[in-house]
Amino acid sequence: MMQPGRRGGAVGHDGAAPTRAHLLDLAFLLGVLAKGIDGLIELVAGAILLWVSPGQLATAAQRVTAHELREDPHDLIANLLVHGVAHLDSRTTAFIAAYLLVHGVVKLGIVAALMLGSLRVYPWAIAALAGFLLFQVYELFVLPGVGLALLTVLDALIVWLTWREWRRGRTVRDAFARTRAWVRRRRAD
């Protein structure tokens, strides 16, 4: 038997079995965490690209991949990295740096705002994430790839989960409190 939870969520009487709501709350929290980490990595990478020349990038890529390419000269990732940075020029590097910086700042801003708990931020977060999602869909048509397709599906899931929490009037703090209580009940059993 289900009973209404805080702000309209449903909580099982025993609280032990993972319900769909528990799993979606957990997915939402993990998605917000992943976006925060991703935003931080993009911010750091963008800042590094502002200060490193394309030649320095090529040298670093060769140093990082040298051991792997000696062992396996056909290693896909190592070869992609070496050949990818070999064709960079200063304009392309500056564009990538700016893109990563803006993307990172926006993601970190979204995560920070969501963590502060204001429901007014959710529509803005959804709009920004949906904008990134549309750009990724465009990129899929221009240069299709499995990695980008998976990232796009995961980002679409994050947008949907964010919309779901906003529609139900629940903040990240609410989702965290519900998930923490559920985990504690499971540990006690």
Among residues 34, 31, 39, 21, which one has the least CA distance to residue 162?
A: 31
pLDDT tens for residues 96-137?
Answer: 899 899 989 988 988 888 888 788 888 988 998 899 899 889
> What pLDDT sits at residue 36?
92
Identify the DSSP state of 47: H
> What pLDDT sits at residue 88?
85
Return d(Cα 62, Cα 53) in angstroms, integer: 14
Per the CB < 8 A criterion, the answer to whether 6 and 64 are in contact is no
Go through the chain and tell me how many residues it has.
189
> What pLDDT sits at residue 2?
39
Q: What is the mean pLDDT of residues 140-161?
A: 87
pTM: 0.71
Percent of the chain surpassing pLDDT 70:
91
Q: What rounded mean pLDDT belongs to the chain?
A: 85
> What pLDDT sits at residue 42?
92
Confidence of residue 151 (pLDDT cuts 50, 70, 90): confident
